[in-house]
Amino acid sequence: MSEYFNKRAQDWDADDMVTKLSSAIGSSILEHVSLHDQMDVMDFGAGTGLISSHVAPLVNKIIAVDTSEEMLNKLLSKPELHSKVEAVQQNILDQPIEQKFDLIMSAMAVHHVEDTSKLIKRFAEHLRPQAMIALADLDKEDGSFHPEEVEGVFHSGFEREEFQRILESHGFVNINFFTAHTVNKENREYPVFLVIASKS
């Protein structure tokens, strides 16, 4: 999977669909999460830092986690992120980060992880008590959203009720779904949810 994203890294930010979606998700996180300057944040599947760019001015520190070296290199090339964002090339399912966070956010990355329940469990393990998650991903779709060349797509979006059950099974409470954006692609509409939840 990293190979595909390594190839796309240089032109990622020039993709109109990507930038519109990232802007909408970033705005939705700002609307629904109370950020403050003491917060330590993990950006899971951070890519080139499009979501981190929205959040960084309002928090203490962001650890941007991704398995793609080139995506993170692109993130690190952005001067506005240097003071607040640290890039970590790591698969947290295999190797946890030795840090706890006040918020874990993710945009369009969860469907690239095969075992959703294991990922949510890992998120819970990385959070301080009463900390939050803000996860954006596709509502359930028919598999037509991603071109065939995109690697590592394990889920064609998610049913919100099933996703909520997974969150609840790992101790998350105060779970709320919002529609952050609708992607219009080839005369089709693909809703994207943002789910906010707290660690109990």
Residue 101 in any domain: the answer is no
pLDDT digit string, tens, across residues 53-111: 999 999 999 999 999 899 899 999 999 898 999 999 999 999 999 999 999 999 999 99
pLDDT digit string, tens, across residues 152-175: 888 999 999 999 999 999 999 999
Phi, psi of 5 (to 5 degrees): -70, -30
In this structure, the answer to whether residues 81 and 131 fall within a common structural domain is: no
CATH number at residue 76: 3.40.50.150
Q: Which amino acid is at 36?
A: H
Strand 85-89 to 61-66 pairing: parallel
Q: Which residues of 78-90 are buried (b: 16+ CB within 10 A; e: fewer)?
A: beebeebbebbee
Strand runs labelled E in 8-60: 40-44
Residue 199 in any domain: the answer is yes
pLDDT digit string, tens, across residues 114-131: 999 999 999 999 999 999
Task: Name the pTM for this structure.
Answer: 0.94
Q: What is the dihedral of CA 49, 55, 61, 64, to 10 degrees?
A: -20
Range of the domain at 42: 1-6+38-89
Per the structure, the count of domains in the chain is: 2
Q: What is the DSSP letter of 28?
A: H
Residue 96 in any domain: the answer is no
Strand runs labelled E in 39-113: 40-44, 61-66, 85-89, 101-107
Residue 108 in any domain: the answer is no
**Residues 93 and 32 sit within 8 Å (Cβ to Cβ):** no
Residue 42 in any domain: the answer is yes
**Residues 18 and 12 sit within 8 Å (Cβ to Cβ):** yes
